Chain A
């Protein structure tokens, strides 16, 4: 069965996708305040040198997220 969503770790470098929702409530609170809203486009820029963190772009803003944080943002396929 095909999954109906992806998360940031699934994105390749320079690939982008629209957000659907954020699964973790505490994180949702923090990320929405920073401007990561449902329906915004997230672009993957690069992973961190030692892995487990992602450099993303949201509407011209650059944000660094941990693996768990990145994995809780559901993206459109």
Chain B
């Protein structure tokens, strides 16, 4: 195992309510030095980053999910409670930065007082102090610090005010940890709670009484407790007649009673909240009719962006790689190493990077929507609709993100409290057409659908493209509905979501979020694509024993007998070599299974290779139809040259036994449906496994989606042939 330097650095946790501006401060302190889940043996991904103090020493900053209290209702919030109650946890912090929105401080201190009772060293950072002074709010930080017994600093994450002071205060705290003897709990335990925590201290030797209390509240799901410990806690709860929920509410209200006067004494607030821009915007954006209409318009804009705008950078990337690979080929001369470079590695890299513009653009738009506060409104508007299909209003965010990439989309489902709704969201999100499906759609549609106008306005190709998206979304909803009928649990489900004030996007957050998603894609899915394309190149280049050289010899003879010219001969020989290769033989043995869908052995190979990552499909066909060195007209910028060449090669392809053309309308449509519905992404399956905690759901998703794709494609082929 690799020893990570992060393990030895002090750990600083960043906590606070949702919408307190936590991520802005996190991005400010860590910049690009952040990563996800870089700790050994960690099952849940959590964002960490490296921060540097003015003195030059460093610490690991952990970005905990936003939560209102240590009594969680979603798995995001559970994570915070699980870490804070377990000093042995990898993420257990040495000190905490508590970010609070100073304009709503009365609502932002509950969690802080709970953390104080766990005796964790905390700095209170009063964020949005710039907005506060604009609103005429006056803060007496010294008084607040005195009353709460912790350092208090007014900051502004957006204006980057007072960050140096926050850092030096934090460093002081890390160097001289508070003495445990000074522990003065904020919340006074009731007599019953005291008896209980005494019993827990006695039985499980948990010294901090509030930690003991939290562990009893959460003992049924806390992951670090052993079975025997849970039994002890069960017994304590029963003998002391412990009413968990009621105790939680009483404790919460007691805390409010204690800190509300403190806040009122130290903060001077103007009497009334005037009607704000947010109210005016929401009158339109969440309007009964206007709201959904605007939402649809926003979705169409996103659709336009992926369909149209990202075409230019994508063409540039493909053409650039085409040039590079020509240059490499001419510089190195012929040989297997050149082929490995151009047809394996460069083709693979081009296949990865070509998605970057789309993914970046999509996540740019999605993170702007999130950053300005619009997503919470979408959750509010469509909660009812989503519930009909077994999901939660929050699932909308996952489904929209799924149009870029299912991996972060599935991770965003953590905010859904109800397990069944979250599971359904995870299971159906991969049906939404992600950006990896786009090139497959483009090639197949260009091949099978004529570019004619339908009804005078719509382009037939765009219509089919749009209906592929509709098919994905529709299937996602139907699958959700079916799973809802099948699962049926009675776990409570919540909407209860805060609708934050609209604000201008903080561009630093937006860029970092886009950067993070792109890097995750290139490093995650990208690695798989690269490996697959190298393996594929090798499999189509080499064959068992002398099969390839034998095939080359006989092919040349046959070509002479058929009097083919030199280009025809070359193509013919290539074809025979491919049939004799490992890939060709695999595809052939696979052909009977896929013949009912209208596919030949070459498509079979493409299907096989794209089971790890569907974006490999076009690359595979390019390799199989021998496109490596003659990708042709690089000056042709109006249409993607490589795809046009690939299309023209695919058009003349025939079945080797019957001589019928392979790519009929029926075959192309059947392939389209297959790629819309099939689960062909290892990265997604891996993230499903991690988020659901077992391979069970990932396997079920894989099997169900594959079967659906197979029979869906079969039905379409039968209808159109």
Report which A residues bind B (CB closer than 8 A).
Answer: 25-35, 37-38, 45-53, 55, 59-66, 69
Contacts and interface: CB of A to CB of B under 8 A. Distances in A.
A70 B691 CA distance: 31
- For the complex, would chain B's binding face be called helix, strand, loop or mixed by DSSP majority? helix
B104 interface: yes
Contacts of B191: none
B71 A33 contact: yes
Nearest to A36: B496
Given A29-B252, A49-B291, 20 more contacts: A25-B249, A27-B494, A33-B69, A34-B107, A35-B104, A35-B107, A47-B288, A49-B286, A49-B287, A52-B383, A52-B384, A53-B384, A59-B107, A62-B500, A63-B496, A64-B383, A64-B393, A64-B499, A66-B494, A69-B495
B719 interface: no
B53 interface: no
Nearest to A21: B249
Given A25-B249, A55-B286, A64-B379, A48 B384 contact: yes
B495 A64 contact: yes
Contacts of B273: 60
19 contacts: A26-B73, A26-B492, A27-B496, A34-B68, A34-B107, A35-B104, A48-B383, A50-B382, A53-B393, A55-B380, A59-B107, A60-B273, A63-B497, A63-B498, A63-B499, A64-B393, A65-B496, A66-B494, A69-B494
A45 B273 CA distance: 15
B496 A64 contact: yes
Given A63-B498, A63-B499, A32 B252 contact: yes
Contacts of B71: 29, 33
B385 interface: yes
A63 B379 CA distance: 11
A34 B107 CA distance: 7
Interface in B48-107: 68-69, 71, 73, 104, 106-107
Contacts of B492: 26-27
B248 A60 contact: no
A27 B246 CA distance: 11
Closest 5 CB pairs of A and B: A64-B380, A35-B107, A33-B68, A25-B245, A62-B499
Given A30-B496, A34-B496, A50 B384 contact: yes
Given A60-B104, A61-B104, A53 B498 contact: no
Contacts of B384: 48, 50-53
A32 B382 CA distance: 24
B494 A45 contact: no
B381 interface: yes
A33 B282 contact: no
Nearest to A31: B496
Contact of A50 (B248, B385, B497): B385
B256 interface: yes
Contacts of A55: 282, 286, 380, 499
A60 B278 CA distance: 11
B9 interface: no
Contacts of B253: 32, 37-38
Nearest to B392: A66
A60 B269 CA distance: 12
- For the complex, would chain A's binding face be called helix, strand, loop or mixed by DSSP majority? mixed
Interface of B: 68-69, 71, 73, 104, 106-107, 110, 245-246, 248-249, 252-253, 256, 273, 278-279, 282, 286-289, 291-292, 376, 379-385, 393, 492, 494-500
Given A29-B71, A59-B106, A60-B273, A48 B496 contact: no
Contacts, number: 110
Contact of B249 (A28, A34, A49): A28
Given A34-B107, A34-B498, A64-B497, A48 B381 contact: yes
A34 B379 CA distance: 17
Contacts of B279: 45
A28 B496 CA distance: 11
A25 B249 CA distance: 8
Nearest to A69: B496
B294 to A, nearest CB: 11
Contacts of A62: 278, 282, 498-500
A26 B71 CA distance: 10
A29 B245 contact: yes
A26 B287 CA distance: 30
A51 B287 CA distance: 12
Contacts of B69: 33
Contacts of B249: 25, 28-29, 32
A42 B568 CA distance: 79
Q: Which of B107, B292, B376 has the most CB of A within 10 A?
A: B107
Contact of B256 (A37, A46, A50, A53): A37
Contacts of B499: 55, 62-64
B389 to A, nearest CB: 13
B380 to A, nearest CB: 4
A49 B292 contact: yes
B494 A64 contact: no
Contacts of B104: 35, 60-61
A61 B498 contact: yes
Q: Which of A31, A37, A49 has the most CB of B within 10 A?
A: A49
B107 A46 contact: no
A55 B500 CA distance: 12
B494 A49 contact: no
B494 A53 contact: no
A65 B379 CA distance: 11
B709 to A, nearest CB: 32
Nearest to A38: B253
B301 to A, nearest CB: 19
A66 to B, nearest CB: 4
Contacts of A63: 496-499
A30 B70 CA distance: 10
